[in-house]
Structure 1
């Protein structure tokens, strides 16, 4: 690995895009952390946290609901640290799931690679007033494809992974995650709900005239699970994401347990589209050189192990928009362009 610093022009492109998206109302504001594994992070900021927070400006310690970044900030590293066999059917770990259940033969490796064939719609609300165990309900549904047959992004798999982690370790998922984050020095990362303040970014207003979601998960299914789930529910800061990215990249260089897990996870497992693959949880681009994941609320984390560089984007884009893949595309396009640029 040759550690490569960020070029001023690359950071200027990121800043300009974030400022333009703030000015046109795509996001109230946001923070981008940038750095390398052997240096201190830098931060680009724009706009405000949200109108509810007055004049408060976003910064390294502003807390954001990171939505699906939960998959790679909580669930994925915990699976790596517990050493759960990726090829063993989930029914082996979950006593309430019969081996003959449609989802009983799904493996943790398939969950991480989004190749389970489980139903794509999450909709845990359909299980209200059902007495059966949630894992059994999820695995009892008919599959939409044969496990391992192809890629389809499925939150249900990571919900199941969170349940499996708790069952296998005998500890609650939020407790497991808190121990991990503490060990890495991520002092501002936690599952919600968290207290409202001017440094916690609100998200969506679900009903006209009602308060916005603020300090509680934007994801409906995470909320149904009390805010603690394998697919969503984590709140964190750009500073903590920089700490996490540094630990991953340094571990990859030094061959630590976490680094070996990252190396194993960035081998392509399934094709998402031409040029884009899925490893274990992570998305891989540029022949696997760039490693990243997004969160629906307006967050992203990018790693480039070959150069030791990272980017972490924190915004609350759902404050204004639900169609975030379109709204956030310009910033995400710039991010992947600059992190994969030749040194």
Structure 2
């Protein structure tokens, strides 16, 4: 049963205070939260500035953020869902079945689509694509030929699985990943979401400074491996706005309520595939909480997307908290509050 329940004034006040606390404490130059429901309830909360490089421009719903690992659920996960629905992929088939032919031993190519989505593949956790330079062998084959670090089954968050999924999607559709994603986003009404790099501008949030005295990363993917792939990868590389992520969240929730193919894919993804920690499970891509009633995912740069499908509620967080270095601890209180706020309906 789907019941859309609006956010209360106390909900939005607490989220606004937490966002301002993050910014005022130096945790992020600024940020935007959008929370809403399929019933049309929508609140936009902002704090701070986009970044000093952008002058005193405040962030807003059209500020463009590097969403980092939200790429997994905004690009790769829905595209895999479409491939499964189209009969082009089988969740329990090995990834090598959807890549150019690999002759000989390829242990990492034997893991399944389901295991890659659920981070239970046992692939190497370290992803250093710079180690694959200066070779004539294709990236997919190089990755598939590597030994597993552990037997499949246990949860371990691994980016390279989504890199393989991105390569597989491009192969089975014979189209670049960014073209597949562009079509998907256009259908959902997301007009400003794109793979990077993008041009530097006042509405584009810079991220981290890697070297003292050097410019910050601005308009280019923060993730090194995505950058080595030209900005287009299954695990990272997408830029989006708070408004577009809200459109995407609303689209998923509406489709879920209507039990369309997209909604059915989301519903299937809410089934737990592996334990993360007490109270948290991994579904297909998404982290599941509150008895699998809440699904969410984070991005390293300081972004998050929360869905409560059966309540028709969503929360989008966009910050460039990585501007000040690794952001996980600094943004943790805001993320925890967002999860608590969206789950109060249960």
Q: Please give the range of the TM-score, normalised by the shorter of the 2 chains.
A: over 0.9
Matching residue within 238, 255, 262 for 1:258 = 262
User: TM-score, normalised to structure 1's length?
Assistant: 0.98
Correspondence for 1:213 among 207, 212, 217: 217
2:136 counterpart residue number: 131
User: Relative to 1, partners in 2 of residues 1:197 and 1:214: Cα closer, same or farther, differing over 3 Å?
Assistant: same
- 1:269 corresponds in structure 2 to 273
| 1:96–1:135 CA contact under 8 A, matched in 2 | no
Change (3 A) 1:180 1:173: same
Residue 8 of structure 1 corresponds to 9
Distance in 2 (alpha carbons) for counterparts of 1:116 and 1:262: 21
Give the Cα separation in 2 of the matches to 1:53 and 1:114.
Answer: 37
C-alpha displacement of 1:325: 1.9
1:310-340 per-residue CA deviation (whole Å, 9 max, x = no partner) reads: 0000000110121x22111110111111111
| Counterpart pick for 1:248 among 245, 248, 252 | 252
Alpha-carbon deviation of 1:257? 1.2
Cα-to-partner distance string for 1:124-167 (whole Å, 9 max, x where unaligned): 111111221101111111101112x2100000000000000000
Task: Please identify, of 134-143 and 57-66, the stretch whose mean Cα deviation from structure 2 is larger.
Answer: 134-143
Report the counterpart of residue 339 of structure 1 in structure 2.
Answer: 342
2:120 corresponds to: 115
**TM-score scaled by structure 2?**
0.97
Alignment counterpart, residue 102 of structure 1, candidates 102, 107, 112: 107
Is structure 2 residue 280 aligned with structure 1 residue 280?
A: no
Change (3 A) 1:8 1:205: same
Alignment-derived partner of residue 289 in structure 1: 293
Q: Look up the SS of the partner of 1:103 in the other structure.
A: helix
CA root-mean-square deviation: 1.0
C-alpha distance in 2 between matches for 1:118 and 1:91: 14
Indicate the larger mover: 204-213 or 169-178. Answer: 204-213
Number of equivalent positions: 341
Is there any run of 5+ residues in structure 1 with no aligned partner, and where?
none
Q: 1:206 to 1:115 in 2, by over 3 A?
A: same
CA contact (8 A) 2:12 2:43 kept: no
